Chain A
Amino acid sequence: MTGDVLALLLVNGCLFAAGAGVTRALGAWRGPRELLTVVATSFLAGAAVFGVLAQLLYVLGFSLSVPQTLAICGLLAAAGSLRVLPASPLAGQPLPSRREWVAAALVAIPLILLAVDAVYQPLSSWDAWTHWTPKARALVELDGLDRSYFASPPYGHWHPDYPLLVPSLEAVAFRFGAGVRVAQLEFWFLLAAFAVALVELLRPRVGPLLTWAAALALVWTPKLGAEALSANADMPLAIFLVLAAVAAWLWISEGSMPALGLVAVFGAAAVATKLEGVIEVAIVLALAVWLALGQSRRSALLLAGAGAVTLIGFIPWRLWTMLTGAPTAYSASSLVDTVEAVDPSRVPIASLLLLRQLFDPAVWLLLVPLALCALAVGALALRRDRVVPLSTAVFLVVALVTALVIPPRSYEWQHQYWLLFVPAVLAGSVLVVAIPRRTRTAGFVVTSVGSLFGALVAFYLFTPYDFAWHLGTSTSRVVTPLALLAAAFAPIVLARASKQGPPGRVP
C-alpha cells in the first residue's frame, strides 16, 4: 500500500513539474515565490495538459510507457523557459492572517479525512469499475490504444467513444506501480488542488472572507467528497469546466494573458474528459465571449480563439473513433431514430429529477441554494426591486420541495408534478432573464447554469439509452458541474456586490 501511494505521489510530482512549466510559459509566474502562489493551479494545469497530450499521443500510436511519460513531463516542465506569453503574475498573495490559518485548517480537515478514505475505498461506482478503470488497465496491458480492442464491438460496454483523459491519468499511475486500490487517490488530488486553486485565484481578487467562505462550503459538502472518491469522470469534468470559466472571467475582467492561456488548457481538458464536456465548454465559453463582446472585440476574439484551441481535446479523438468505427451510442443513425421516437413528456420528468439532485440537502446541504442567493444579492446590489428576490424565493422553495418530495427513482410522470414543474420553469426563466440585466457577472453564472441545465435535459430527451436507466444511473453525477460553477462564482458575485477587492472591469 505504501509503495502504491509513493508511486502516485511520484506521478503527481511529475504532473506538477509539467504544470509549473506550462503556467510559467503562459506568464503566470516568474520566480519560485510567485510559483508558490499558484502551486495548485499549476498542478491542475499539468494534469490537464498531460491528459490532453496523452490522449493525442495514444491516438498517434504511442504507448506512454514510463520513459515516454517522464519525457513528456520533462518537456512540459522545460517549456517554462520559453515564456510564450509576457509575464503577468496570476496571483500575488498577501500573507495569510491568523484567522485565515484557522480557516485553512478547517479546509484541511475534510481533505485529510478524504485522503485516508481514498486509500482504502473499494472501486464500487458502476462507471468506474465497468469502464473508466478497465480502460486505464487496458492501456497499460495492451501497451497503448489497440484498436482491435478499443474499437471492437464486444468492448462496447467500455463506451469506446468516451474520451481518454481520465483513463490516461489512471494508466500513468498504474505504469508507475500504483494499484487499482489507490486509483481514487488520484481523484482526491484533483479535488484538493481545485479547492486550493480557487483560494489562489480568488483571494487576491475578492478578499479572504469571501474566498475562505466558499472554500469551506465546498470542501465540507458531502457530495463533493463522495463524487471525488467514486473515481468517475464527472468530478474532473466539473473541476476543469469551472476553472476554464474562472479563467475566462479573469481574462475578461483583468485582461490577464495567463488566464487566457488557462482557458484553453482547462477547456481542452474538460472536452477530453467526457463527451458532454464539448457541449458544456461550448456553452460556458460562448456566454463568456458574449460577455467579452461588451468589453471589446479584441477581448472576445482572443477568447473565442482560446475556445477554438480547446478542440484539441476533442477533434483528434473524435477522428480516431470515426476512422476505426468504434462503437458509439451517439451515432448519426441512432440520433435520427431517437429524434423520431422522442417523447416530450421526458422534459418535465428529467427536469424535476435533475432539480431534485441539484438541491438535495442530504448531499449538497445548502451549497446550491446559497450560491443562488449570492447571485440574487449580486443583482439586488445594483437595482433594488421585487422581481429577483421574489423569483429567487419561489424557485428555492419549489426546488427544495422537489428535492424533499420526489423519490430519487421517479421516472413516471404524475399529474401533481405540474405543481412543481410550472412554477420552477416560470421562476427559473425570470431569473435567467432578470439577473443578466442587472449584473453581468451574476448574469454570466445564471445563464451558464441555466443553459447547462437545459443541455442536460436535452441529453435525456434524446438519449439512445433506456430513459429510466439513464436517469437513474446518472442524474446525481451530472449536476456536479452546475453546483460547482455556481459555488465557485458566488464569492466573485458577492465581491462585486459589496465592492470588496480591487474593482475589475466587469461591473
Chain B
Amino acid sequence: MVARLTGVEALFLAGMGAVLGALLSARARQWPSGSARLSGMTAVALATSSLAVAPVTAWAIVLDIRASKQLSMREAERFGPEENGLDTSLIDRVARVIPRRATYGLAVSDGLDPHRASVFRIWALAALLPRRAVADGSSPEWIVSWGIPPSELDASLTDVRVIEPEADADPHVYVGRVVR
C-alpha cells in the first residue's frame, strides 16, 4: 500500500500543502513570539503536507482493499511463494506422501532458476511441518527432489511418487522413501 504518485508529484502536492499550511498558520493566530510562530508554522506544515496527499493515500488503500478482497483465504496465505513462481500445490501433494514426524532431505536440480529453487526450499520448510528437514549428508527417511530423477540421487529410494507440476515447463517432483 503506497500512494500511487511519483516522487515529483508527491513532492509537489505535499510541498504545496506544507507552504499553504505554514502561511495560514502564520496569519490565523496571534503568536507570542517569533520563535513560537516559526514553531507553529513548522508543525502545521508537517500536518498539512500529509493531509494534502490524504485523498490519494486513502484512495490507494481503498484500491488495495478491493484487490486483496478478491483473494481467497488460501490464495492470500500463499501469495508470497506463488508470486515468486512456485506452484504451492506441489508441496501440498508432497505432504500427503510423507508421514508427519518423518525426516526428509531436499534436493533441487542445478538446472532450475536459483531464485525459484530457493522459494521451493523455503516454502517446503514451512509447509511440511512438523516433518523435519535434515542437512545434506545426514540420512533422512524420505527425499523430496525437484527436477532430479531418483536414479541420479546418491541414495536409493523406494515407494517413489512422481508429482507433476501444472506448468508443463517445470520439472517433476519426486518423493521417495530412502532404502536403509
Contact = CB atoms under 8 A, between A and B. Distances in A.
Interface string A315-333: 0000000000000000000
Contact of A123 (B11, B38, B80, B134): B80
A280 to B, nearest CB: 24
A157 B14 contact: no
Interface string A384-419: 000000000000000010011000000000000000
Given A157-B122, A213-B47, A380-B38, A220 B57 contact: yes
Given A137-B129, A148-B132, A497-B39, A157 B121 contact: yes
A371 B46 contact: yes
Given A113-B58, A117-B61, A497 B46 contact: no
A217 B130 contact: no
A490 B134 CA distance: 51
Interface in A310-357: none
A1 B50 CA distance: 32
Contacts of B1: 114, 117, 121, 222, 225-226, 229
Interface residues of B, number: 62
Interface in B107-128: 118, 121-122, 125-126
Given A226-B2, A361-B11, A494 B42 contact: yes
A58 interface: no
A141 B51 CA distance: 44
Contacts of A158: 125
Contacts of B75: 122
Given A142-B129, A365-B50, A497-B35, A125 B80 contact: yes
A153 B105 CA distance: 12
Interface stretch (B64-72, B152-160, B166-174): B64-72
A88 B126 CA distance: 47
Contact of A120 (B68, B83, B121, B126): B68
B81 A129 contact: yes
Contacts of B81: 129
Nearest to A225: B1
A218 B64 CA distance: 20
Interface in A343-382: 360-363, 365-367, 370-371, 373-374, 377, 380-381
B129 A181 contact: no
Given A120-B71, A122-B77, A374-B46, A110 B61 contact: yes
B43 A154 contact: no
A212 B47 contact: yes
B76 to A, nearest CB: 4
Contacts, number: 217
Interface string B72-86: 010111011101000
The SS class assigned to the B binding surface is helix
Contacts of A490: 42-43, 46
B143 interface: no
A414 B9 CA distance: 26
A128 B60 CA distance: 22
Contact of B35 (A121, A360, A498): A498
A81 interface: no
B133 A374 contact: no
A494 B33 CA distance: 13
A404 B7 CA distance: 6
A363 B3 contact: yes
A482 B86 CA distance: 35
A494 B43 contact: yes
A366 B15 contact: yes
B49 interface: yes
Interface string B35-55: 110111011111101110110
B77 A180 contact: yes
17 contacts: A110-B61, A120-B65, A123-B79, A154-B125, A154-B134, A155-B125, A157-B122, A220-B51, A222-B57, A365-B3, A365-B50, A366-B50, A370-B42, A373-B42, A497-B38, A498-B33, A500-B39
Interface of A: 1, 106, 109-110, 113-114, 116-117, 120-126, 128-130, 134, 137-138, 141-142, 148-149, 152-155, 157-158, 179-181, 209-210, 212-214, 216-223, 225-226, 229, 360-363, 365-367, 370-371, 373-374, 377, 380-381, 400, 403-404, 487, 490-491, 494-495, 497-500
Interface of B: 1-3, 5-11, 14-15, 18, 31-33, 35-36, 38-40, 42-47, 49-51, 53-54, 57-58, 60-62, 64-65, 68-69, 71, 73, 75-77, 79-81, 83, 106, 118, 121-122, 125-126, 129-130, 132-135
9 closest A-B pairs (Cβ-Cβ)?
Answer: A129-B80, A122-B79, A498-B39, A134-B126, A220-B50, A498-B36, A120-B68, A154-B133, A122-B76
